[in-house]
Amino acid sequence: MKNIRNFCIIAHIDHGKSTLADRLLQTTNTISEREMMDQVLDDMDLEREKGITIKSHAIQINYKHTDGQEFILNLIDTPGHVDFSYEVSRALAACEGALLLVDATQGIQAQTISNLYLAIDNNLEIIPVINKIDMDGAMIEEVKDQIIELIGCKPEDILLASGRTGIGIEGILQAIVERIPAPKGNPEEPLQALIFDSVFNSFRGIIVYFRVLNGTIRKGDIVKFVSTDADYEAAEVGILKLKMTEKKEVGAGDVGYLITGIKNAKEVKVGDTITLKNKPTQEMIKGFQEVKPMVFAGIFPVNTDDFEELRDCMDKLQLNDASLTYELETSQALGFGFRCGFLGMLHMEIIQERLEREFNQTVITTVPNVSFIAYTTKGEKVIVNNPTEFPDPVKTDRIEEPYIKAQIITKPEYIGNIMTLCLGKRGILMNQSYLTTTRVELQFEMPLTEIVFDFYDKLKSQTRGYASFDYHPIGYRESDIVKMDILLNGDKVDALSALIHRGRSQDFGRKLCEKLKELLPRQQFQIAIQAAVGAKVLARETISAMRKDVTAKCYGGDISRKRKLLEKQKEGKKRMRQIGNVEVPQEAFLAVLKLDD
Q: Taking residues 569-578, report their average pLDDT.
A: 60
- Checking if the pLDDT of 334 tops 50, the result is yes
Exposed (0-12), middle (13-18) or buried (19+): which is 282, by Cβ within 10 Å?
Answer: exposed
When mean pLDDT is compared over 279-293, 419-433, 466-480, the highest value belongs to 419-433
Predicted confidence band of residue 595 (pLDDT cuts 50, 70, 90): low
Predicted confidence band of residue 545 (pLDDT cuts 50, 70, 90): low
Residue 406 is predicted with a pLDDT of 84
> Given CA atoms 416, 343, 453, 374 in this order, what sign does their dihedral have?
negative
Helices 169-179 and 17-27: crossing angle, nearest 10°?
90
Instruction: Tell me the pLDDT tens digit for each residue of 308-331.
Output: 888 888 887 876 676 778 888 777
Which residue, among 90, 42, 17, has the nearest Cα to 242 in the 3D structure?
42
Q: Taking residues 543-571, report their average pLDDT.
A: 74
Exposed (0-12), middle (13-18) or buried (19+): which is 370, by Cβ within 10 Å?
Answer: buried
Do residues 450 and 428 touch, judged by C-beta distance below 8 A? no
Predicted confidence band of residue 482 (pLDDT cuts 50, 70, 90): confident
- Checking if the pLDDT of 555 tops 80, the result is no
List the helix and strand counts (H, then E) for the chain. Answer: 14, 33
In angstroms, the Cα distances linking 153 to 148, 158, 200, 312 are 5, 8, 42, 49
- Checking if the pLDDT of 403 tops 80, the result is yes
Residue 148 is predicted with a pLDDT of 79
- Checking if the pLDDT of 399 tops 60, the result is yes
**Range name among 44-53, 235-244, 340-349, 511-520 with the lowest pLDDT average:** 44-53
Residue 199 is predicted with a pLDDT of 75
Q: Taking residues 387-410, report their average pLDDT.
A: 81
Residue 68 is predicted with a pLDDT of 74
The binding site for GTP comprises 14-19, 131-134
Instruction: Tell me the pLDDT tens digit for each residue of 352-369.
Output: 888 888 888 888 777 777
- Checking if the pLDDT of 87 tops 80, the result is no
Taking the mean position of all CA atoms in its chain, how far away is CA 183? 29
Q: Taking residues 113-137, report their average pLDDT.
A: 79
Residue 108 is predicted with a pLDDT of 76
Q: Taking residues 289-298, report their average pLDDT.
A: 71
Residue 597 is predicted with a pLDDT of 44
- Checking if the pLDDT of 69 tops 60, the result is yes
Residue 133 is predicted with a pLDDT of 79
- Checking if the pLDDT of 45 tops 60, the result is no
Residue 83 is predicted with a pLDDT of 60
CA dist 155 and 145 (Å) reads 8
What whole-number percentage of the chain has pLDDT above 70?
81
Q: Taking residues 393-418, report their average pLDDT.
A: 83
What whole-number percentage of the chain has pLDDT above 90?
0
DSSP character at residue 359 = S
Q: Taking residues 22-46, report their average pLDDT.
A: 64
CA dist 298 and 329 (Å) reads 8
CA dist 581 and 574 (Å) reads 15
Residue 32 is predicted with a pLDDT of 60
Residue 62 is predicted with a pLDDT of 79
Instruction: Tell me the pLDDT tens digit for each residue of 190-215.
Output: 778 888 777 777 777 788 888 887 88
Q: Taking residues 553-568, report their average pLDDT.
A: 78
CA dist 387 and 393 (Å) reads 12
Instruction: Tell me the pLDDT tens digit for each residue of 483-498.
Output: 888 888 777 777 777 7
Q: Taking residues 268-292, report their average pLDDT.
A: 70
Q: Taking residues 16-25, report their average pLDDT.
A: 76
Q: Which residue has the higher pLDDT, 581 or 334?
A: 334
Residue 100: Cβ within 10 Å count: 24
Q: Which residue has the higher pLDDT, 354 or 57?
A: 354
CA dist 260 and 221 (Å) reads 10
Paired residues of 584 in beta bridges = 577
Residue 95 is predicted with a pLDDT of 78
3-class DSSP assignment, residue 315: helix
The binding site comprises 14-19, 131-134
